[in-house]
Amino acid sequence: MKLPDMLIPGPLKKPQKPGGGDGAGPVERLKETPADLVGWVDERTGGASFLTGMLYRKVPKGTNWFYTLGSATLFAFTVQAVTGVFLAMFYTPSTTQAYGSIVHLTNDVFLGEFVRGMHKWGASVMIILIWLHMARTFVFGAYKYPRELNWVIGVVLLILTMVMGFTGYLLPFDQRSFWATVVGVNITGTGPLVGPYLADFLRGGAEFEQTTLARFYAIHMLLVPGLIIALIGAHLYLVVKLGTTAPPWLEPKRTKATVKEERV
């Protein structure tokens, strides 16, 4: 599908052929055409250079559907963020009202059950996708020099995704989520050194009560999403800067310099 010319920033537009056009100069055309909102924003932000690097970068030979797992994970996170905002509009982080607000959202709110279902199953989809993306990166050797930092950021994103799923599981505050979280926090408390302190921090006291639910809600809604967004930005920057690796079954192209080095 071809985008309208007014939606394409000036630096990304295809230049006209020599001798083409109506013969008018840039000043005359500027006076005759309406204000270009996208061009106005681009002139003040320089976003076209970023879009050029994102959309017009070289990809290695042999690129296939395995390379879309990262984009699919990003799309899943976007769905989680959007549906989570709508759920937060009706959710009450209280031990006495949390479950009732979930029941009201599911049974009474228009499309509430659909949005909650997208958020619930989308969490599982995102976890599956990020594991597949990490597996693809490892198998393809994309964690090696010079992409070690991007691999570390990916590992942290994987951990944060698991934390997001764990903290969100308690929010309905029904019997299943309550006792599952009790088991999870107790397992966390068995970890070496920081395990007991981390378990006490998550509980917020001796028992699972209002403070526990408030902490899980804050971590799930504010802390972890903020960290994920920041790390995704750094991750995408490094992907654009360093490029992507070719599949391991494709041999690198041999040049005269490499052949000479092999002989030496």
* pLDDT per residue as tens digits for the range 87-146: 999 999 999 999 999 999 999 999 999 999 999 999 999 999 999 999 999 999 999 999
Q: Which of 242, 214, 235 is nearest to 77 (CA)?
A: 235
Distance CA 6, CA 258 (A): 47
Sequential DSSP letters for 96-117: TTHHHHHHHHHHTSTTHHHHHH
Residue 248: inside a domain, yes or no? Answer: no
Regarding whether 123 and 23 lie in a shared domain, the answer is: no
> Can you give the residue range of the structural domain that contains 36?
5-55
Backbone angles phi, psi at 15, to 5 degrees: -65, 150
Confidence bin at 5 (pLDDT 50/70/90): low
Residue 94 inside a domain? The answer is: yes
Query: Is the pLDDT reported for residue 213 higher than 80?
Result: yes
Least confident of 23-27, 147-151, 217-221: 23-27
132 and 156 fall within a common domain: yes
On the question of pLDDT at 2 being above 60, the answer is: no
Segment 175-186 shows an average pLDDT of 96
Distance CA 129, CA 217 (A): 24
State the amino acid at position 257 in one-letter form.
A
User: How many structural domains compose the chain?
Assistant: 2
pLDDT band at 187 (very low <50, low <70, confident <90, very high): very high
Are 28 and 148 found together in one domain? no
Residue 37 has what pLDDT? 77
Structure confidence at residue 85 (pLDDT): 97
Global pTM value: 0.79
Mean pLDDT of 186-207: 92
Is residue 25 in some structural domain? yes
Give the pLDDT of residue 264: 56
Question: Which one, of 228, 84, 215, lies nearest residue 153 by Cα?
Answer: 228
At residue 9, the pLDDT reads 57
Residues 30-65 as b or e (16 or more Cβ within 10 Å = b): eeeeeebebbeebeeeeebeeeeeeeeeeeeeeeee
Q: List the CATH number of the domain containing 192.
A: 1.20.810.10
Query: Across the chain, what does the average pLDDT equal?
Result: 86
pLDDT tens-place string over residues 42-77: 788 877 777 777 777 778 888 889 999 999 999 999
Q: What is the pLDDT of residues 222-257, one digit of tens each?
A: 999 999 999 999 999 999 889 888 888 886 665 665
One domain for residues 99 and 162: yes
Residue 22 has pLDDT above 90, yes or no: no
Let me know if residue 80 belongs to a domain. yes
Q: In the prediction, which pLDDT does 41 show? A: 80
Residues 38 and 119 in one domain: no
The residue among 17 and 40 whose pLDDT is bigger is 40
